[in-house]
Amino acid sequence: MAPEKLTAKLSLPGGKEASLPVIVGTEDEHAIDIRALRNDTGYITLDSGYMNTGSTQSAITYLDGEAGILRYRGYAIEDLAEHSDFAETSYLLINGKLPTKAERSAFSTALTRHSLIHEDMHHFFLGYPPTSHPMAVLSAMVTSLSAYYPDSLDRNAPVDLHITRVLSKVRTIAAFSYKKSIGQPIIYPKNSLKYGENFLHMMFAVPSEDYVVSPVIAKALNQLLILHADHEQNCSTSTVRMVGSSGANLYAAIAGGILALWGPLHGGANQAVIEMLEHIRNHGGDYKKFIDDVKNKRDNRRLMGFGHRVYKNYDPRAKILKKMCDEVLAHLGIKDPLLDLAKGMEEIALKDEYFVSKKLYPNVDFYSGIIYRAMGIPTNMFTVMFALGRLPGWIAHWKEMVEDKDTKIARPRQIYTGEKARKFLPVEQR
């Protein structure tokens, strides 16, 4: 039996009424389809910050912010973090199903084979001052990849190879930019290593001695990347879709996502959390006073790593990361005073009326920075790590968008609040 067609009625000033179709998702989420609203009534909807606007239908990630649920292609984030690895999860996000053994092996081989960047691109790194933020370098390098693969500009050309390239090469670019920033020689990728291990090798090996990747650190990195791999229509993913909707190539769309991720209210929050904790420690460690400042909105302070547009419950990723944080620091024998500060602040905030009433819980960035710090990754590289993790999500959304025959160029409307038409006055008369 065909499902019942639901409609919503909208009463408009002047007695006019609009009948709007209701769309229901597989998890029983309901949306009012307003696509015909302006044509039928002359009205648009206004929703700054897209608090209440669905921009697409998507089969990639399901997230229930009230219940603290996150699933990629139907699989619980907890299961993927425990049992999968980043390459397999990337395959899942991009292709919609877990790979068979043969598909998994072919995908890993392709990622390994495409890890090098064109030798000429090495010169680009030399042009940046040592103080450059690695997100600036990363976004520019990803855009530059399109110059080396001009067939990516052809909208009818196959995309699989470009997907493999971007997924594999961003890891190399990230590690090379770190090596350049600290004045060490670039370490080339090693084909015998898996995705995460290869990245750690390029980051931390030096030509003068052997580097052995710790399995505990490799597992933690895999889990971190999986936890960041997708989060449906967030700021950076929507940017990727928006840039891609104009027909711009995959590299351009991913570079757009990287730039959107950079901001401290989004992926830049992991760096901002560590800076906040360091600030508190350097000013005597009085975190209760800091929380008081946050609650009273002094200097527009926020508890970085807390709060989320969608999660109004504990972020399931933060739960996994808090546990991982203890394990990684214990394995490395590190006692980080910033972790004690973070735990103290979390404990207070979770009981405090300000945070409870606003449903502010730790998000994915609250503990990730402490883990990256323990791994030896510098603070200004944290957002690059986030970008590396988010890549398969961005790619999956870009692919879903270009394959969807209903895709239109993203072009919101506005309500104009400026001057009415006025006459131009020559400069002598103003």
Binding site for ligand ACO (CB under 6 A): 265-267, 269, 294, 302-309, 358, 360, 363-365
DSSP 296: T
3-class SS of residue 32 = strand
Residue number, nearest CB to ligand ACO: 307
The verdict on whether 365 is a catalytic residue reads yes
Nearer to ligand ACO (CB atom), residue 38 or residue 359:
359
Tell me the backbone φ, ψ of residue 76, rounded to 5 degrees: -65, 140
State the minimum distance, in angstroms, from the CB of residue 359 to ligand ACO.
8
State the minimum distance, in angstroms, from the CB of residue 77 to ligand ACO.
14
Residue 62's H or E segment, with its range, is strand 61-64
State the minimum distance, in angstroms, from the CB of residue 388 to ligand ACO.
14
Q: Do 111 and 87 meet the contact criterion of CB atoms below 8 Å apart?
A: yes
Distance CA 75, CA 63 (A): 11
Catalytic residue among 231, 315, 365, 397: 365
Nearer to ligand ACO (CB atom), residue 364 or residue 395:
364
The verdict on whether 308 is a catalytic residue reads yes
State the minimum distance, in angstroms, from the CB of residue 418 to ligand ACO.
26
State the minimum distance, in angstroms, from the CB of residue 363 to ligand ACO.
4
For the range 67-71, what are the long-range contacts, defined as Cβ-Cβ under 8 Å and sequence gap of 24 or more? 67/313, 68/311, 68/313, 68/314, 68/315, 68/316, 69/316, 70/231, 70/316, 70/317
What angle is formed at CA 364 by the lines to CA 313 and CA 170, rounded to 5 degrees? 145
Nearer to ligand ACO (CB atom), residue 190 or residue 295:
295
Nearer to ligand ACO (CB atom), residue 251 or residue 367:
367
Catalytic residue among 85, 308, 315, 397: 308
Instruction: Give the burial string for 380-412 (b: 16+ CB within 10 Å, else e).
Output: bbbbbbbbbbbbbbbbbbbbbbbeeeeeeebee
Nearer to ligand ACO (CB atom), residue 189 or residue 267:
267
Q: Which residues are tagged catalytic?
A: 308, 365
